[in-house]
């Protein structure tokens, strides 16, 4: 296990990916975007045309396909059978289907195992997702849970989509976010919730820089070394 493990969990649009990436850079730590793993398995299943509600079929896809994850300069790269799918896994169709993989207990087990293996090879790691502080790294050195009002999270997501040339409507983006929250919070395995010992930060009124400063301050206080 790494000497320093920092977990950042939270709902979509809470700022956790950006904050985790910037924090990792400041601490010279590795960065693990676990959402990319759920997205990659989802895309592989979509490409294979299997019934997404069939856990055994999803498992077969995971076993047959060569799924590879690596982190380069703070960006998570994902490959399926050698093909770079790092951009494709961000498509809204993949986002909409990720809940099938996220609620399949056996797949979560395998993905958590892969996350722990990844951390074992690193000296310091900042890992973000939904269950990093509660399940994957219950004994992490410091845990954060970022949250923000759904309307603000939808605006942030819309800005990202517009930057990619898409013309989605704010109401639709907010609805998709709220549906994802519901599914993430209510699943039986690895549900989205703050760990009992997590530091909870509401980022609604904060800039990314302010969140990074707050998080960094907590890390320096709790782990001075
Ligand atoms: O964070 P991101 O939006 O990329 O995650 C995609 C999906 O993967 C989420 O909607 C969530 O359902 C799932 N996920 C999860 N557990 C994690 C990370 C992501 O269930 N640790």
Q: How many helices (H) and strands (E) does the chain have?
A: 8, 8
- Which of the listed residues 91, 98, 106, 135 should we mutate to test ligand 1's pocket, taking the one with most ligand atoms within 8 A of CB? 98
The pLDDT of residue 224 is 81
41: its two tokens: 């398995």
Q: Is the CB of 144 under 6 A from ligand 1?
A: no
Contact partners, residue 184, CB within 8 Å, separation at least 6: 11, 99, 102, 130, 191, 192
- pTM check: above 0.85: yes
The number of CA neighbours under 13 Å toward the Cβ of 85 is 26
Rounded Cα distance between 2 and 16, Å, is 20
Task: Compute the distance between CA of residue 171 and CA of residue 149 in angstroms, rounded to an integer.
Answer: 14
Q: Is the CB of 8 under 6 A from ligand 1?
A: no
Q: What is the Cα gyration radius of the chain?
A: 17
Mean per-residue pLDDT for 106-125?
A: 95
Q: What percent of the chain has pLDDT over 70?
A: 100
Domain locations along the chain: 4-214
Residue 2: is its pLDDT beyond 90?
A: no
When pLDDT is averaged across residues 46-73 and rounded to a whole number, the result is 94
* pLDDT given for residue 215 in this prediction: 98
Provide mean pLDDT across the span 35-58: 97
Q: Does the domain at residues 4-214 carry the CATH identifier 3.40.50.300?
A: yes
Closest residue by Cα to atom 19, ligand 1, is: 35
Give the Cα separation of 49 and 78 in Å (integer). 20
- Percent share of the chain, pLDDT over 90: 92
């Amino acid at each position: 296990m790494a000497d320093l493990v920092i977990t950042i969990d939270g709902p979509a649009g809470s700022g956790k990916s950006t904050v985790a990436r910037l924090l990792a850079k400041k601490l010279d730590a590795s960065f693990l975007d676990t959402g990319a793993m759920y997205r990659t398995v989802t895309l592989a299943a979509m490409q294979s045309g299997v019934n997404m509600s069939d856990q055994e079929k999803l498992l077969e896809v995971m076993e047959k396909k060569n799924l590879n994850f690596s982190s380069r300069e703070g960006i998570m790269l994902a490959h399926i059978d050698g093909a770079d799918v790092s951009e494709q896994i961000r498509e809204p169709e993949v986002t909409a289907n990720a809940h099938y993989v996220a609620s399949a207990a056996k797949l979560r087990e395998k993905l958590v195992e892969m996350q722990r293996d990844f951390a074992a090879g690193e000296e310091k790691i900042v890992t973000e997702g939904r269950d990093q502080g509660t399940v994957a790294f219950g004994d992490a050195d410091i845990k954060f849970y970022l949250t923000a009002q759904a309307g603000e999270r939808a605006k942030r997501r819309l800005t990202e989509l517009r930057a990619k040339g898409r013309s989605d409507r704010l109401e639709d983006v907010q609805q998709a976010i709220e549906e994802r929250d519901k599914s993430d919070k209510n699943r039986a395995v690895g549900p989205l919730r703050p760990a009992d010992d997590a530091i909870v930060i509401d980022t609604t009124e904060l800039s990314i820089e302010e969140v990074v400063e707050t998080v960094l301050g907590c890390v320096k206080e709790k782990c001075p070394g």
